[in-house]
Structures are given as structure tokens and as C-alpha cells.
């Protein structure tokens, strides 16, 4: 046989074999991507992001009011009212935490809102001296919802003593300052969205690294991987440390809301993926619709449905966890690891299969070794 004919036959066979293998993994049959990105960006801005920040901002106004009411009349009754509004705002935060774009990214909203574990020693030092600048990065972990979790639940095992401590002038001032800062930062982000950034966000519909779709998809995956998967589940379970870190759960001092906050965050990312409106059940122009439009399949099944199903599997697995993930990490952290494993399966589909379909390049460095 002529060596050239043999070489051509070998190359042809190799290409066909590789193509067949790829068909079992990820396959997009739509040749041209003319999906209406502008309509999707408009839906994201008008039906999901802005309403989400509006409702979150409203919850913080209520939190400020109950903070003021407590400082005016400290009692177990006003403390419980303050705790209830703290939880409501904390849950609302889970709905918008992934949208770290525009002004939220510029001012570091997420870092100032929900870095945990909170630094108790630094909080107490700030309160004792009265000399603190909450706008400094060195105070990321002395404010926001985690600091409130400590102040409202962690100062003492007895609520009467918590009320007495928070009644002291320096404690009352710190409590007021960190709630006011949550309000100020959120209003700054919301005002930016409604005073011009919305139009900039929507108009930047190009398929490029600087386009709004590419940037927000990166933010969405980054949030899912680093904050939902690693922060809420993986770190407390000991995935990255080799041993469980029970005190690193979200809201450890209240002792009963960490799984609830995780479920709220999971609902938020799944709703965004499916393009569900923030205030109703309607859904359209989501990432799932984009994948369906491109007729994308994974192992001969629709990729969008596979991702949605896997998020449901995550939720079902997490249902077996205790409401207090700190207690779960202390008694049986292997159950948390099971939830982590299911979250990781979703990360692969989002970070590899989905971005490959959209021709989006991941713009952050993965240092977890996964």
C-alpha cells in the first residue's frame, strides 16, 4: 500500500473516532449561534437582577427600623424582632449574591456583606476602641450578616445577657453602623443599576470576554463553585483542609439557619439558570433556553435538563443534612461531603460543557485543585 494512502486512511479513522467519542460527551447541533442575547440581558436586568436588589434593599430598610427600635427600647421582644428581620434580609441576600457585576464588583459588595467566619476578636476590638473604618478591606470579616449573627446570638447563651450587652453604647453604635453600611452599599448598587448601568449592561451584548453575557456567566459559575459549593459546603466539610471545620459554616452562632441559607442560594442559582422571573414563576431567556436553542446534548440527553436535574439531586441530597451544618460537621461530616460531590458534578457541567457550548472562556483562576 502507498504510504500516503495509508497515512490518509489512518488520519481519517482517528478523526472519526475522536468525533464519535465527543458525541458521547457534548454535542451542539445548531450551526449558527444567533440567539437573542439582547433579549436575554434585558430579561436578566428587568425581571431578575433589579427586582432582586429592590426587594433586598426593602428588607434592609426593615432591618434598619428594627435595629433602631431595639436600640431605643432594648428587650428580648425587640431582640427577637431584630433577629427575624436579620434572617429575612440574609435570605434575600442569597438571591442577589451571585450578581457581582457593575457597581457591586467595583465596591466589593460581596466582601463587605458575607465573609465568614467572622473575626470575633477584631469585632470586639473595634467595639472596645470605637476606632474602626468599615470601608477598609481589613474589616471585611468584621461586618455584614456574619457579624450580626455573632452580635445577635453569640455574645452569650442567655438572651437577657445579650440584650444587656447590646444595650451598652459602644455595642449599640457598632450594631447600628454595620446595619447602616449594609443599607448604604446596597443602595449604591441599586441606584447604579437604575440610573444608567442597566442600559450599558443590556447594550453590551457582544459575544466576547468583555460582553455582559460572558462576564455574568463567569460570575454565575464562580459563585456556584466558590461560594455555594466550597464556601457553604466544602470548607466546613473539610474538603480543602483534610478535616472538618465546623465553625466555618454560614451563621454558626444562630445555630439553625445554615442549611436554610444554603437552600435559598441553591434556589437562586437554579432559578437564574432557568431564567425564572424574580417575583413569579414565569421563565424565559435563561441559560437553559440558550442551551436548548443550540440543541446541546450531553451523553445523548439535553444538557440544560441534565444541569437542572443535577441541581435537584443536590437539593435532595442536602435534605438529609441537619438544619445546623455546624452540628452536622461535628457529628457526621461525611453527609456534607455527599452534598459536595453532587455540587461538584454540576460545576463540571457548567464550567466545561456549558461554557464550551457558548464559546465562553473562564476568566478566573481555580486554585482548589479540582
Distance (Å, rounded) from C-alpha 144 to C-alpha 264? 18
Q: Which of 170, 169, 150, 153 is nearest to 161 (CA)?
A: 153
Q: Interior CA angle at 119 toward 140 and 247, to 5°?
A: 115
The C-alpha angle 179, 182, 186, rounded to 5 degrees, equals 150
Q: Where are the domains of the chain?
A: 28-358
Measured from the Cβ of residue 343, the count of other Cβ atoms closer than 10 Å reads: 25
For the chain, where are the E strands, in sequence order?
27-28, 296-298, 301-302
What global pTM score does this model have?
A: 0.91
DSSP secondary structure string for all residues of 117-132? S--HHHHHHHHHH---
- pLDDT 10s digits, 9-57: 333 333 333 333 344 466 665 546 789 999 999 999 999 999 999 999 9
124 φ, ψ (degrees, to nearest 5): -65, -35
- Tens of pLDDT, residues 348-369: 999 999 999 999 999 887 655 4
DSSP code for 133: -
CATH of domain 28-358: 1.20.1420.20
CA distance 288 to 217: 12
- Label residue 3 by pLDDT band (50, 70, 90): very low
Characterise 131 by phi-psi region: left (phi > 0), alpha (psi -120 to 50), beta (else).
beta
3-state SS record for 9-42: HHHHHHHHHHHHHHHCCCEECCCCCCCCHHHHHH
By C-alpha distance, which of 76, 77, 51, 81 is closest to 64? 81
pLDDT at residue number 2:
39
Nearest CA-CA partner of 271 in 257, 260, 284: 284
Per-residue pLDDT at 199: 98
3-state secondary structure of 239: coil
Contact 307, 299 (CB under 8 A): no
In this prediction, residue 17 carries a pLDDT of 38
Confirm if 300 and 217 have CB atoms less than 8 A apart.
no
Amino acid at each position: 500500500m502507498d504510504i500516503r494512502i495509508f497515512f490518509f486512511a489512518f488520519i481519517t479513522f482517528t478523526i472519526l473516532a475522536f468525533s464519535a467519542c465527543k458525541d458521547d460527551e457534548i454535542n451542539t447541533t445548531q450551526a449558527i449561534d444567533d440567539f437573542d442575547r439582547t433579549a436575554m440581558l434585558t430579561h436578566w436586568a428587568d425581571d431578575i437582577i433589579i427586582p432582586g436588589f429592590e426587594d433586598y434593599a426593602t428588607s434592609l430598610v426593615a432591618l434598619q427600623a428594627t435595629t433602631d427600635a431595639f436600640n431605643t427600647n432594648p428587650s428580648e421582644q425587640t431582640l427577637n424582632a431584630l433577629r427575624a428581620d436579620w434572617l429575612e434580609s440574609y435570605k434575600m441576600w442569597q438571591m442577589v449574591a451571585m450578581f457581582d457585576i457593575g457597581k457591586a464588583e467595583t465596591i466589593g459588595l460581596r466582601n463587605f456583606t458575607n465573609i465568614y467566619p467572622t473575626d470575633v476578636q477584631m469585632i470586639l476590638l473595634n467595639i472596645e476602641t470605637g476606632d474602626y473604618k468599615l470601608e477598609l478591606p481589613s474589616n471585611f470579616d468584621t461586618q455584614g450578616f456574619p457579624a450580626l449573627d455573632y452580635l445577635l446570638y453569640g455574645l452569650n447563651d442567655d438572651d437577657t445577657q445579650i440584650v444587656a450587652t447590646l444595650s451598652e453604647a459602644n455595642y449599640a453604635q457598632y450594631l447600628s453602623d454595620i446595619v447602616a453600611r449594609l443599607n448604604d452599599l446596597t443602595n449604591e448598587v441599586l441606584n447604579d443599576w437604575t440610573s444608567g448601568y442597566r442600559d450599558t449592561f443590556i447594550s453590551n451584548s457582544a459575544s466576547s470576554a468583555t460582553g455582559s453575557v460572558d462576564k455574568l456567566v463567569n460570575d454565575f459559575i464562580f459563585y456556584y463553585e466558590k461560594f455555594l459549593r466550597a464556601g457553604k459546603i466544602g470548607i466546613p466539610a473539610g474538603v480543602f483542609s483534610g478535616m472538618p471545620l465546623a465553625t466555618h459554616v454560614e451563621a454558626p452562632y444562630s445555630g439553625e439557619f445554615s442549611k436554610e441559607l444554603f437552600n435559598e442560594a441553591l434556589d437562586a442559582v437554579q432559578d437564574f439558570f432557568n431564567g425564572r422571573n424574580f417575583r413569579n414563576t414565569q421563565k424565559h431567556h435563561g441559560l437553559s433556553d440558550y442551551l436548548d436553542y443550540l440543541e446541546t446534548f450531553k451523553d445523548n440527553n439535553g444538557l440544560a435538563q441534565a444541569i437542572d436535574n443535577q441541581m435537584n439531586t443536590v437539593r435532595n441530597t442536602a435534605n438529609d443534612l441537619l438544619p445546623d451544618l455546624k452540628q452536622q460537621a461535628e457529628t457526621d461530616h461525611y453527609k456534607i461531603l455527599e452534598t459536595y460531590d453532587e455540587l461538584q458534578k454540576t460545576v463540571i457541567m457548567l464550567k466545561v460543557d456549558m461554557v464550551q457550548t457558548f464559546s465562553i472562556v473562564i476568566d478566573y483562576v481555580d486554585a482548589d485543585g479540582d
